[in-house]
Chains A and B, each alone.
Chain A
Amino acid sequence: MLGIMLQKMWHKRWMNLSLLLGCILLVATAVCFPLYQEAAYNRMLQDEFNQYVANNGVWPAEFSSMISSDKDRTGKNIASMEKLMADIYKNLGVKEKYTTYFYTLPSGEIRSAISRQDAEGLEVRLGAKSGIEDHAVLINGEMISEDGYSDDGEIEVVISQACMVNLGLLVNETIIFRDYRDFDGNEIRMKIIGVFVEDDNKDYYWQESKGELDNVCLMKMDLFREMFTGDHAAKYKINCKYYAMFEYEDILASDVDHIVKWTDYYTEQSGYKGVLSRPLFRDVIDSYQNKYSRISATLVILQVPVLIMLAAFLLMISSQMYEMERNEISVIKSRGSSRGQIFRLYLYQALLLNGVGALLGMPLGLAMSKLLGSTRNFLVFDFSENLSVRYTPTSLIYMGAAILLGLICLAIPAIKHSKVSIVNLKQQKAARKKPLWEKLFVDLILLAVSGYGFYNFNHNSDKISEAVLKGESLDPILYMSSSVMIIGAGLLFLRLQPYFLQLIYTIGKKKWKPAAFVSFMENVKNGRKQQLIMLFLIMTVSLGMYHATVARTIVENSVRNAEYLDGADVIVKEVWTEIKTREGKPTGEYIEPNLDKYMLANWIDQYTKVIYDEQAYISTGGTNRQKVTLMGIHTKEFGQISWVNMNLNGEHFYNYLNEMAVVENGVLLSSDFRDKLGYKVGDTISYSNYGEKSVTGVIVDFFDYWPGYVPVVRSVTPDGELTSESSYLVVANYEYVRSKVGAVPYEVWIKQKEGTTQTTIYNWVQENDARLTKYINRDSDLANAENDPLLQGTNGILTLGFVVTIILCGVGYLIYWIMSIRSRELVFGVLRASGFHKGELFQVLINEQIFCGFLSILAGFGIGKITSMMFVPIIQKAYASTAQVLPLELITNPFDIQRLIIVVGVVMIICLSVLTLMIMRMNVAKALKLGED
């Protein structure tokens, strides 16, 4: 049996290779999604942690606890807490970074052994902090010795620099507690042998004891325990602090649930809930989980069409194979093989193909998920940043499911075919039927369903964006509607295509040249066999185009929005020192920072001063005030430096600047002044800045958008309600404002030279010792916008989906045509024998490619375009955020279409070349012989 199978497979090796390719792709794609998702979540989690560290300068991965232990129970409490810290690592499954115990006695009055006056009445706390030896950087003296005693039997202690300065203690000085005594009742003598500094910028060991060490003398930990805990110890109340710090680099997305479960158990349910505070990393994980829930549903939904296409591909290929093997199967059957035997033959074949497919598909899946991680836009890759991907249990489950699906697709049709003997086969061949979907009007039904979805979502689009902003995940039906629309429209095209060809044929009925005639007749009679491959082509192209538009639109909108919100390449604001009177009262006047550094900076192309005051206000009659933002600009420079889509307001941006430039006291106002407060052009308005000095201006125009201006501030309240608040902006001439209120703090808006990097700017800031209170960098904000995990994941999956479907489509298309030519070899032989030229045979094939391939691709583009126009505006709401200010715009990039055409074109050319080769190699006499057996 095995021999027969292998022989059979070798005989149809191209077919089987295609099937194998299908199996490989099926496993690879199925595995690639969970791998990628997992890796993306891991990266997202790490990003959250890294960002927290960068923003707060604090290591969030830690548990901390503070207890004060009664003097009677000291030993027991401390032992149980220390055990708890060790358990935490074990139960959370994390890797220990530092475990720190910090014990102190309550502060007590001391005297100096050298009886100096100024040490009288000082209070210190005696304590011990584990790990001090490794982390303290000594600036004077030395570290505590191993046994903790000095040569003359005093307790060695080290103190922080802050403590030294604070208390005025000296190195090598001995201090003695007035009240504390050891177990034997002797006085406690402490010798200060060293002074250290806390390297808290680099060493997170210090983060929990910041500012707490300025009256603490630290002694040897072991000695502390011996003296103050345990049975033979002096019984004092001890303040205990515990920090269990762990590494977060190793934490995977899949560990999060486990960690959260244990963390919440510890802080909410365990016996320690009173002493364990909610750890910082819970906030990090909360923020991660918010993002996770936002993107996970979306990513899954985006994969569905690709997986469906994969299954359809396998079904198509396997049914093609059975079509080819029908004769063989029916002969085997007529010779007495049982159905079971035939089925087993194909089952083994399917097992072999799927087994090898899985073996090769797994590494391919891994590679593909890495490719996904490098996606920046649709079909745009950036390999500079690598995603670390590893096999996960989930991916193995997906592999299993893919293999099962592959087996079903490959082996199940055998059951159907094993029923057919040679006699029914001949009968079947004669019959030609309309496909079921055409009879049931599936195409129109699908179109109606998607139309309903479109109508419904379009009418509730406000609700959709509100739901998304609140963090709810999007209705999957919305995504499905577009896929359903594409399938429905594709089927409708398939229904109409034969009539269209019939029409063309009828026009020239008797006059068609032989080649055209053969092609027409083939299509009219056998066109239905091509429907699956045509549907495949249509779906590939239209989904490709639709997905390109989705990807492009969400990324571009997000990038444009980020660009708009920043307003310029770089914006900095330095610290302005306010001039104070001799009594220390603020004068409202400031010392202007030196501007030379901007003039001299080699990375700055141009800069301008912009007064930006968010605390300004206007009076709206009586004592009523409206808070506004005041902006003072140099119109010309501002126009050259700021970033805004020039026609965003419906009129060129420069027109507004020009209008204001000619009126010295002119102001431009945001349109809410007109719409909500009732101002008109020509009215005067009086506005005030920080210094309570008011300025009067004449309104020259109103605008909707202005660089960096957010017209409506939307936010989600803790209760999940969406709130929005208008914000008002007054733009005035810089010189005019300055002449009225004096030198007030301004920002510097900068246009950078090409090639400026963040490092350049950072170094410049360092060199000039500039103290900045505000720093905006457009490049870094754009990079952040593009690196949003949701956008990246979407782009990755859409791109991968397209790549997979185009491969499937190419392979499927090739197989279909090879089979088609094979099955018509006899006819082609007859034609050639009757004097058909080779060129005419090509013409036949080319005609058929046009009817089948070209028309489908054209239809695909059309359908993709229509679907994009209908559904992308709804889909992109799923990606909007509270930060979205600009109106969302549907964006298609001609490059995307070109890329799509190139990819599709290359696949078609490969197909045509293979087919041409087949025709060239076809031997007429041999082809004719085929009919003789």
Chain B
Amino acid sequence: MGKNVIEVSNVSRMFQVPGGEFWALKKINAAVPESSFVILKGRSGSGKTTLMNIISTLDNPTEGEVRIDGELVKDLSDYKKEEIRRRKMGFVFQAVSLIPSLNAFQNVEFSMRMAGIAPGPERDKRIEECLKMVGLGNRMNHMPAEMSGGEQQRVAIARALAHRPKLLLADEPTAELDSAMAARVAQLFGELSKKEGITILMTTHDVGLMGAADFLIELENGERIDV
């Protein structure tokens, strides 16, 4: 294993709620090495989305610190964080998150534009490659509204990895898919992490998918329980 892409040390996250404080995360430590496919597991309310938000730099921990690709996140400006998100990360969300006014090809192309990859045949080839990887090579010109939920989610995956991010974050990407499709997505993540050298962190509560991952991080009541 190479160096760690994600390093989480002593991260706690407190929310102010009526009647006091609520600690969604308590002193979490985790390290995710390069090219690994990791599943973040836990029930609803276990704190996995909170941890995911902190790792994706959308949220800040109350205590502790996070390093992404060696950079200490809390030292970064908002702008720098946005730059990291658009260049080094790819996102797949639970809900369908394609831009409705763009077709499959343009949706994938868009993340490459965001990452500042210059236009040209290279870029177009990469887009086609990614769409083929998720099995949608023949639906490149379709609009999101013309595709099923699973197909849309696969476009989202293609979009998340097209610009060759260091880290792909997927928050419950299989929640709205049937189990066969969910298994295919998990398998795809496993293959991609090796083939593309991308570190993939996925949250799910679907026990059937755990086998595809290199290892698991399990949360319960804001605490890590797998170690």
A residues at B contact (CB < 8 Å): 429-430, 510-514, 517-518, 521-522, 524-526, 826-827, 830-837, 924-925, 928, 931-932
Chain A residues contacting B102 (CB-CB under 8 Å) are: 521, 525
Contact assessment for A521 and B114 in the assembled complex, using a CB-CB cutoff below 8 Å: no
Picked from B83, B120, B123, B145, the residue with its CB within 8 Å of the CB of A835 is: B83
The docked-state distance in angstroms from the alpha carbon of A510 to that of B106 is 10
Interface residues of B in 44-76 (CB under 8 A from A): 53, 56, 58-59
Chain B residues contacting A513 (CB-CB under 8 Å) are: 113
Residue of B nearest to A527 (CB): B101
The docked-state distance in angstroms from the alpha carbon of A879 to that of B110 is 60
The docked-state distance in angstroms from the alpha carbon of A113 to that of B108 is 128
The docked-state distance in angstroms from the alpha carbon of A837 to that of B79 is 7
Contact assessment for A830 and B99 in the assembled complex, using a CB-CB cutoff below 8 Å: yes
Residue of A nearest to B88 (CB): A835
Chain A residues contacting B101 (CB-CB under 8 Å) are: 521-522, 524-526
Picked from B91, B110, B145, the residue with its CB within 8 Å of the CB of A517 is: B110
Residue of A nearest to B83 (CB): A835
Picked from A525, A830, A835, the residue with its CB within 8 Å of the CB of B84 is: A835
Contact assessment for B82 and A931 in the assembled complex, using a CB-CB cutoff below 8 Å: no
Residue of B nearest to A521 (CB): B101
Contact assessment for A514 and B114 in the assembled complex, using a CB-CB cutoff below 8 Å: yes
Give the distance to chain A from B66, nearest Cβ to Cβ, in Å.
16
Residue of B nearest to A837 (CB): B82
23 contacts between A and B (CB under 8 A): A430-B146, A510-B119, A510-B123, A514-B110, A514-B114, A517-B110, A518-B99, A521-B99, A827-B99, A830-B91, A833-B91, A834-B89, A834-B90, A834-B91, A834-B111, A835-B81, A835-B83, A835-B85, A835-B87, A924-B58, A925-B53, A931-B97, A932-B95
Contact assessment for A830 and B97 in the assembled complex, using a CB-CB cutoff below 8 Å: yes
Give the distance to chain B from A412, nearest Cβ to Cβ, in Å.
28
The docked-state distance in angstroms from the alpha carbon of A29 to that of B105 is 51
Chain B residues contacting A831 (CB-CB under 8 Å) are: 99
Contact assessment for A430 and B95 in the assembled complex, using a CB-CB cutoff below 8 Å: no
Given known A521-B102, A925-B53, A925-B59, contact A834–B114 (CB-CB < 8 A) = yes
Residue of B nearest to A833 (CB): B91
Contact assessment for B110 and A931 in the assembled complex, using a CB-CB cutoff below 8 Å: no
The docked-state distance in angstroms from the alpha carbon of A525 to that of B145 is 12
Q: Taking the complex as formed, is B96 at the interface, i.e. its CB lies under 8 A from any CB of chain A?
A: yes
Chain A residues contacting B145 (CB-CB under 8 Å) are: 429-430
Q: Taking the complex as formed, is B208 at the interface, i.e. its CB lies under 8 A from any CB of chain A?
A: no
Picked from B83, B94, B119, the residue with its CB within 8 Å of the CB of A932 is: B94
Chain A residues contacting B97 (CB-CB under 8 Å) are: 826-827, 830, 928, 931
The docked-state distance in angstroms from the alpha carbon of A832 to that of B119 is 22
Q: Taking the complex as formed, is B86 at the interface, i.e. its CB lies under 8 A from any CB of chain A?
A: yes
Picked from A429, A526, A833, A932, the residue with its CB within 8 Å of the CB of B85 is: A833
Q: Taking the complex as formed, is B100 at the interface, i.e. its CB lies under 8 A from any CB of chain A?
A: yes
Chain A residues contacting B81 (CB-CB under 8 Å) are: 835
The docked-state distance in angstroms from the alpha carbon of A826 to that of B91 is 14
> Which of A521, A833, A928 has the most chain B CB atoms inside 10 A of its CB?
A833
Chain A residues contacting B85 (CB-CB under 8 Å) are: 833-835
Give the distance to chain B from A818, nearest Cβ to Cβ, in Å.
19
Picked from B82, B84, B89, B100, the residue with its CB within 8 Å of the CB of A836 is: B82
The docked-state distance in angstroms from the alpha carbon of A925 to that of B96 is 15
Residue of A nearest to B79 (CB): A837
Residue of B nearest to A511 (CB): B119
Give the distance to chain A from B48, nearest Cβ to Cβ, in Å.
14
Give the distance to chain B from A656, nearest Cβ to Cβ, in Å.
69
Contact assessment for B96 and A931 in the assembled complex, using a CB-CB cutoff below 8 Å: yes
The docked-state distance in angstroms from the alpha carbon of A831 to that of B94 is 15
Chain A residues contacting B106 (CB-CB under 8 Å) are: 521
Known pairs A514-B114, A826-B97. 4 more at Cβ < 8 A? A524-B101, A928-B95, A928-B97, A931-B97
Q: Taking the complex as formed, is B23 at the interface, i.e. its CB lies under 8 A from any CB of chain A?
A: no
Residue of B nearest to A509 (CB): B119
The docked-state distance in angstroms from the alpha carbon of A831 to that of B91 is 10
The docked-state distance in angstroms from the alpha carbon of A522 to that of B101 is 6
Chain B residues contacting A521 (CB-CB under 8 Å) are: 99, 101-102, 106
The docked-state distance in angstroms from the alpha carbon of A837 to that of B113 is 13
List the 7 shortest-distance A-B pairs measured between CB atoms, nearest first.
Answer: A835-B86, A931-B95, A835-B85, A510-B119, A525-B101, A830-B97, A835-B82
The docked-state distance in angstroms from the alpha carbon of A511 to that of B85 is 21
Chain A residues contacting B93 (CB-CB under 8 Å) are: 830, 833, 928, 931
The docked-state distance in angstroms from the alpha carbon of A510 to that of B123 is 10
Chain B residues contacting A514 (CB-CB under 8 Å) are: 110, 113-114
Residue of A nearest to B94 (CB): A932
Residue of A nearest to B100 (CB): A827
How would residues 117 to 154 of chain B score, 1 for a CB under 8 Å from any chain A CB and 0 otherwise?
A: 00110010000000000000000000001100000000
> Which of B58, B59, B94, B111 has the most chain A CB atoms inside 10 A of its CB?
B58
Contact assessment for A510 and B120 in the assembled complex, using a CB-CB cutoff below 8 Å: yes
The docked-state distance in angstroms from the alpha carbon of A827 to that of B96 is 10
Chain B residues contacting A932 (CB-CB under 8 Å) are: 94-95
Interface residues of B in 5-43 (CB under 8 A from A): none
The docked-state distance in angstroms from the alpha carbon of A430 to that of B148 is 12
Chain A residues contacting B83 (CB-CB under 8 Å) are: 835
The docked-state distance in angstroms from the alpha carbon of A712 to that of B124 is 79
Give the distance to chain A from B44, nearest Cβ to Cβ, in Å.
12
Contact assessment for B99 and A931 in the assembled complex, using a CB-CB cutoff below 8 Å: no
Chain A residues contacting B111 (CB-CB under 8 Å) are: 834
The docked-state distance in angstroms from the alpha carbon of A526 to that of B145 is 14
Give the distance to chain B from A290, nearest Cβ to Cβ, in Å.
61
The docked-state distance in angstroms from the alpha carbon of A117 to that of B182 is 140
Given known A522-B101, A925-B53, A932-B95, contact A833–B114 (CB-CB < 8 A) = no
Residue of A nearest to B96 (CB): A931
Residue of B nearest to A827 (CB): B99
Give the distance to chain A from B167, nearest Cβ to Cβ, in Å.
12
Chain A residues contacting B120 (CB-CB under 8 Å) are: 510
The docked-state distance in angstroms from the alpha carbon of A281 to that of B2 is 108
Chain B residues contacting A834 (CB-CB under 8 Å) are: 85-86, 89-91, 111, 114
The docked-state distance in angstroms from the alpha carbon of A826 to that of B106 is 18
Give the distance to chain A from B99, nearest Cβ to Cβ, in Å.
6
The docked-state distance in angstroms from the alpha carbon of A928 to that of B96 is 10
Chain B residues contacting A430 (CB-CB under 8 Å) are: 145-146
Given known A510-B120, A511-B119, contact A836–B96 (CB-CB < 8 A) = no
Give the distance to chain A from B103, nearest Cβ to Cβ, in Å.
9
Given known A521-B102, A834-B114, A835-B82, contact A826–B119 (CB-CB < 8 A) = no
The docked-state distance in angstroms from the alpha carbon of A931 to that of B100 is 13
Chain B residues contacting A928 (CB-CB under 8 Å) are: 93, 95, 97
The docked-state distance in angstroms from the alpha carbon of A718 to that of B89 is 90
The docked-state distance in angstroms from the alpha carbon of A627 to that of B9 is 112
> Which of B59, B86, B99, B145 has the most chain A CB atoms inside 10 A of its CB?
B99
> Which of A526, A830, A931 has the most chain B CB atoms inside 10 A of its CB?
A830
Chain A residues contacting B82 (CB-CB under 8 Å) are: 832, 835-837
Residue of B nearest to A510 (CB): B119
Give the distance to chain B from A881, nearest Cβ to Cβ, in Å.
58
Give the distance to chain B from A831, nearest Cβ to Cβ, in Å.
8
Residue of B nearest to A924 (CB): B58
Give the distance to chain A from B81, nearest Cβ to Cβ, in Å.
8
Chain B residues contacting A526 (CB-CB under 8 Å) are: 101
The docked-state distance in angstroms from the alpha carbon of A836 to that of B100 is 17
Given known A510-B120, A522-B101, contact A835–B113 (CB-CB < 8 A) = no
Residue of A nearest to B90 (CB): A834
The docked-state distance in angstroms from the alpha carbon of A932 to that of B94 is 7
Give the distance to chain B from A821, nearest Cβ to Cβ, in Å.
14
Chain A residues contacting B90 (CB-CB under 8 Å) are: 834
Contact assessment for B87 and A925 in the assembled complex, using a CB-CB cutoff below 8 Å: no
Contact assessment for A835 and B89 in the assembled complex, using a CB-CB cutoff below 8 Å: yes
Give the distance to chain A from B166, nearest Cβ to Cβ, in Å.
13
Contact assessment for A826 and B86 in the assembled complex, using a CB-CB cutoff below 8 Å: no
Contact assessment for B114 and A836 in the assembled complex, using a CB-CB cutoff below 8 Å: yes
Contact assessment for B58 and A833 in the assembled complex, using a CB-CB cutoff below 8 Å: yes
Contact assessment for B94 and A931 in the assembled complex, using a CB-CB cutoff below 8 Å: yes
The docked-state distance in angstroms from the alpha carbon of A518 to that of B100 is 11
